Each structure stands twice: as structure tokens, then as C-alpha cells.
Structure 1
């Protein structure tokens, strides 16, 4: 099933035309959110930071928008009924995204968090404003104040635990200890009551979720030799919820998928082991035996 993301910068009439071509009623291919990039990446020193890089003191990254213009564009697209998601990795990029959402919506958002109640899907609360479930993609470097604003503005934190296993080799050098302490801050988001939606960020990272699950519950390198602020790790139930009910909620699909229950789409996989019971390193070795989409087997291991 594919949810098509459209370019935020495209003209509104073009976006509306594409939305009509792939309506929400098609659960195999439909238009989802509009995506824009607030900044780059930590690895390339282009993620936008509020203060300079610890290992590059003359550089604070590359913000991609003028804030006033971003606010104007976001408001126009929100008023047109589009869900908006902003790639933001640095804390400056996150601030830009939150400021645009705040200026454009007056607390448009998600409602309750499905991750806080482990392995359950939470229905959105009623809201006088349109329920657009605005999102920030990645949100790797945040401040406690920004996490509180996610909650206040009811913005979804769409994150990919995979990235930590790649980035932990140099993230501390890029950020310094004070900022690193609040990076990849999954537990802080959950504690604050923010909706977490996990994914893989394929093809940047492997498409299978098992590496991300391992990262989420251990925050430990794959060779087991180094940890990265383990106080931010999640339980296995919280991590699974973020990948399933959280992600379904983030794309308005919580009535169709994210759980195995009567009336749902019957999309699921059969694994070769119980990932809730094995030691965390063994999760990395998990194999898919069978994939079912809409109740039909579409893959079976030989």
C-alpha cells in the first residue's frame, strides 16, 4: 500500500489536481501529506542547528526557508486541507517547522498518542480546527522546550530509530554532550505524550523494521560495544506501537491498519521468532516467513 507524498513547494492548483487523481478512498494508492525540507543532515553538517556544530564552530547548518515565507506557504496549504510534514533534523530546523505550524493553524493536530498506551490505537480527540495531523520527519535533535511544543501543537514526531545506529558513531562529536543528551529523544517524546510514528526511511536505511526495533529498545551499537544515552530507549511494546498504531494514525489509517483485529485490512507478517520474548540482539536476526496483504498471502519464504 502506498501513500503518495507530494512536494510542498508545488503550486496549490497542481497539488489539488493530484489529490483528486489519487483520492483517500483508494487504500492501495492515495495522496498523503506534503513534504518540505527545513534542513539537511547531521552527517554532512547541513542540519540546521540553533548553535554551531561542536566539531565545526563556524557552521550552524543550512536552513532551507525564510520563516515568513514558510509560514505563508504552510498556512495556504493547511487551509486547503493538506496534511503537511517537514523534514527537520537539527533543532533549528525543528523550531522552523513548529513555528510554521503554530503561525498557520492555531493548534491543528493529532489528538491523543497511541504510543503512550502500549500496543493500543488511540482515536483523535475532537478539535474545532481541522484535524490535519501535522508531522515533523526525523526530529533528531530537539530541546525539551521543543518537545513540549510538539505536545502543545499536537504535532506527530515521525522518527526512524535506524538512524541512531548509523549516526551514533559521530553524533556526539557533531553536537557536544549537552545537545546530544536530547537527540533521538524517543522516551522524552513518549513521556510528554507526543504521538510517535516510526518508519525505516528506506532507501536511506534498510527497509526491514527489525534493526530499528533493536535500536529503539537498546540504543546500543549492533556489535554491542557502545551505548547512546540509554535513558531514551523504549520498551518493546512502545516500539512496536510506534511502528504500527502510531504510523497508521499518522496517515489517518488507524481504522484500517496498525492492529490485527476484526474489520481491519488483514495486513501482517509471520515471523520466525517472538520478537517480544527474545534477547534484543536476536531481533536483528529475525526473518519473515510470510507476508499477508488484505488477507492474501503475497510472500512466503522458501
Structure 2
């Protein structure tokens, strides 16, 4: 470590990090100020900050890090999309407002729209606008909200919120204490239900869907309460609200999701790591309806599969493998095998399910006359091959709008 340069080390989930002493000094986080951050900044036995910071504090820290600038950021978008196309991705949904240079997300949105309009975006890009305060959310709608679009390659699809943290960092908000840390239930991002309600009702009033990160059952309860209130206050509007991750749920919460028609944004690849930590974090009883994609399917929930990149790798076939086998990449498991999906169900959630979640199921998501010709060729039949082969399946060609945007050199 360095005493000269400020350093922030992030856990892989991006929900907890560690600062060195130089960073604490520059950020003015000390014995006198650390109390301002509450449970989001840890202290040692003397009451001094020990450098471990979580959730909201990380947002403040990231805002203090000098930006690389808008143009380099847009160049990275153009360059990196080729890696995604090579894995068969034709559309992505991403929340990028927090990565905007100088905290100016609208400049980033204008830049992405410009890329789309001049044909530099080969992927279809649906932005989930991360707006966590009432003032920034109102400004978003004042500026035109979902009108920040660029043809069929870039659009804003939802407002994004976060209700808790991650299971690995023990910041996912549970209704009861962690099994392996009985002194904590995790951390709700919004301590009061009314705070979350206000944001959801505001977006709902503008007929804008809200997708809310919720891993723990405590956070899920708050999210469902907020959606229920918005629908009760404005029942004539029907934006497609969604819950992102939906990992730890009760049977009753799953039924409420179905009753409220909440879309489940699910990342099956989480099985690869979480199957090794979830039993210890949760104990046996709470596991029964966790990572419950089979139950979601049986209840008729709309599921949209993704990867949560950069927390996990962006390879979709790895997610299909985990959804079907409920095993990690080395074959350990199965983990809650009664929640496994068929290959067809998993592929549907990755294609038609994603299109539904972004409100685009009438134009894409299936191979059908009249829909956008977004598809890929793979080296085997994903519906009939042995499930373990899903990990080694290769994308041979990727097409977006009928144009070949990736070709395996060997094919």
C-alpha cells in the first residue's frame, strides 16, 4: 500500500471497499466526521475509521475521483461492444448515469445518442437511468425523461434505484439477521419506506418503469410496498416495474410479485459463486425460496436474464448453464435443483424476456417475420445438447438488424 497516493480497493460486488489512510485523509473521513456516515463507514475499537466503506459512501468517493472525460469514455463504449457481440449479445440494458464524467449524465446520454445516430453503436442499448434522489429524478423528467433516444440503437427504458447492497458484503437487507453475523440484518439504502415510495410514485406518475436492485427479503418487501402504493395511487397507469436480482424471497413475496406484475431481472450466473456462500449467510430455512427461478416460472412471472457485468462476466451462455444445471462452472452442486429451468425457459428469459423488460417485445426478442433480425449462430443445438456442454458452446456469428456484426474467424 502507499502513504503517498490515495487508494480505493473494491470488493467484486462493488458494494463495499477499503480506503488507505491517505484516501481517508483527503476525503476528510476521520474520528470527528465518520459518524456522519452511520453504518456505511466502519470504525475500529477506538472509534476511528478503519477504512472499510459501503454503499452510499462509495458513491461520494467515486464522485471525488477525477473523470477520464467524455470522449475517452465513449471510445471505450465503441471498442468494448465488439467483445459483447463476440459472445452473442445483440442488446444490453445498463445503468451508466453514475459513470458520467463530472456527474453530468445528460452529456453521456447525448454522447451515446450521437454514437447511435452516426451508426457507431452496433449493439442495441437500453439505458436504466440511475437516479436516487427526488431532485435528480424530477430534473430527469423536466429534461424530457425517456425522450433521450437515438433511433433503434439507444433509448432510456427505465429508472433505476437501489434498495440494498450485496449478500457477499452482508449489506443485502434481510428481514432477520444474517445466520453467520447475527448482529446485522444488512443495510437498506433508504431507511424509511416513505423515501423509496416517493421516488417510485414520481416515476409512476410519469408512466416510467422503475427497476429496483433488491437482493435481501427486507429490501424486497420495501420494493413491493412501493410498487403497491404507486399502483394504488395511480391505478390507470401501467409502467412495467421490475425487481433486480430477487435473490432472497419468501413464498408470499413471490406471490406478491405475480399479483403486482413485477418483472424479475435475474442473473443466473450468480449461482457459480453464491451457492458456496448463501447457505452460510442465510441458514437453511431462508434458502427454500431463494434463487427461485423455477417458482417464478411456475407463477407466470416475466423473467429477464442478464449477467450484472462487471460484477460477473458478460457471457450469456454461462448464465444459461447455471439456470439449467444449478451448478458452478466446475460442476459442483446442484444448488436447489428443484428451481432449475429447461434450456428453452432459460433461453426465452435471455431473449424474449429481456425484450419484454425493456418494453420492446413487439419489435424484437424472437425470430419472427416483422421483428428485428437480431440473432446468432452457435456451434451446437442449445436445446438438446448435454447441459454441461453449454459452457463450451461457441458463438459463430452474431447478427443485429440483419447485418453480421461478428464472425468467428474459424467459421
Structure 1-normalised TM-score?
0.90
- 2:205 is equivalent to residue 79 of structure 1: yes
Q: Give the distance between the partners of 1:178 and 1:16, measured in 2 at CA.
A: 46
Q: Which residue of 1 aligns with 2:166?
A: 41
Query: Any idea what SS the aligned residue of 1:292 has?
Result: strand
Contact 1:89–1:141 (CA under 8 A) maintained in structure 2: yes
Q: Give the distance between the partners of 1:6 and 1:18, measured in 2 at CA.
A: 13
Contact 2:157–2:359 (CA under 8 A) maintained in structure 1: no
Q: Which residue of 1 aligns with 2:131?
A: 8
Write out per-residue CA displacement over residues 234-275 of structure 1, whole angstroms, 9 at most, x where no aligned residue: 111111111111111111110111101111110111111111
- 2:381 is equivalent to residue 256 of structure 1: no
Q: Give the distance between the partners of 1:30 and 1:250, measured in 2 at CA.
A: 13
Q: Which residue of 2 aligns with 1:106?
A: 232
Summarize the alignment of residues 241-252 of structure 1 with structure 2, pairs less than 5 Å apart: 241-252=348-359
Contact 2:146–2:157 (CA under 8 A) maintained in structure 1: no
- 2:314 is equivalent to residue 210 of structure 1: no
- 2:394 is equivalent to residue 271 of structure 1: no
Query: Any idea what SS the aligned residue of 2:200 has?
Result: helix
Q: Which residue of 2 aligns with 1:192?
A: 299
Q: Which residue of 1 aligns with 2:99?
A: none
Matching residue within 169, 178, 185 for 1:60? 185
- Please state how far the C-alpha of 1:220 moved relative to its aligned partner: 1.4
- 2:237 is equivalent to residue 130 of structure 1: yes
Query: Any idea what SS the aligned residue of 1:151 has?
Result: helix
Summarize the alignment of residues 122-161 of structure 1 with structure 2, pairs less than 5 Å apart: 129-161=236-268
- Please state how far the C-alpha of 1:18 moved relative to its aligned partner: 5.1
Q: Name the one with the larger helix percent.
A: 2
- Please state how far the C-alpha of 1:20 moved relative to its aligned partner: 5.5
Summarize the alignment of residues 157-176 of structure 1 with structure 2, pairs less than 5 Å apart: 157-176=264-283
Contact 1:55–1:173 (CA under 8 A) maintained in structure 2: yes
| Paired residue total | 282
Range 82-91 or range 68-77, more displaced: 68-77
Q: Give the distance between the partners of 1:202 and 1:145, measured in 2 at CA.
A: 30
- Please state how far the C-alpha of 1:184 moved relative to its aligned partner: 0.5
Q: Give the distance between the partners of 2:144 and 2:408, measured in 1 at CA.
A: 37
Contact 2:207–2:238 (CA under 8 A) maintained in structure 1: no
Q: Give the distance between the partners of 2:142 and 2:379, measured in 1 at CA.
A: 44
Q: Give the distance between the partners of 1:239 and 1:33, measured in 2 at CA.
A: 23
- Please state how far the C-alpha of 1:107 moved relative to its aligned partner: 9.3
- Please state how far the C-alpha of 1:11 moved relative to its aligned partner: 3.2
Q: Which residue of 1 aligns with 2:58?
A: none
Range 195-204 or range 96-105, more displaced: 195-204
| Off by >3 Å, runs of 4+ in structure 1 | none
- Please state how far the C-alpha of 1:4 moved relative to its aligned partner: 1.1
- Please state how far the C-alpha of 1:106 moved relative to its aligned partner: 2.6
Q: Which has the higher contact order (CA 8 A, sep 6+)?
A: 1
Q: Give the distance between the partners of 1:64 and 1:13, measured in 2 at CA.
A: 21
Range 223-232 or range 13-22, more displaced: 13-22
Write out per-residue CA displacement over residues 35-94 of structure 1, whole angstroms, 9 at most, x where no aligned residue: 111000000000000000000000100001120121122111110121101000000011
